[in-house]
Structure 1
């Protein structure tokens, strides 16, 4: 069996294709298999001495928010 398309097969495919398709997107559903990301998240690598103090991302976020609140607004 030959996997390379020949000219006869290509011609049949071209005849089956329309020049334009109109899709009704009102009937579309979200992809249930795609992950939903509502906010931007990044990964930061902590040095080992800092990681000993901050065990979770929540701890790091609390400390950074406290620092941010102490910075004067411009």
Structure 2
């Protein structure tokens, strides 16, 4: 190995904008278990599976359908 390297003619990494970003996210235990079980079946790490699923949702422009219903006295 050389003691010094000259990077003055170097280029920026063209793939740098495609790198993954580390984030903290809170998931239900059941959700994590689901993806860990799927990881064992497929041999793909569970974090990769979660990323693939979320990427598919984003690419397909999927939207979550939420419906909030007011609680009634009988449900309390």
Fold-level match, TM-score > 0.5?
no
TM-score by length of 1: 0.39
Higher RCO (C-alpha 8 Å, min separation 6): 2
Relative to the length of structure 2, the TM-score reads 0.39
- Structure showing greater radius of gyration is 1
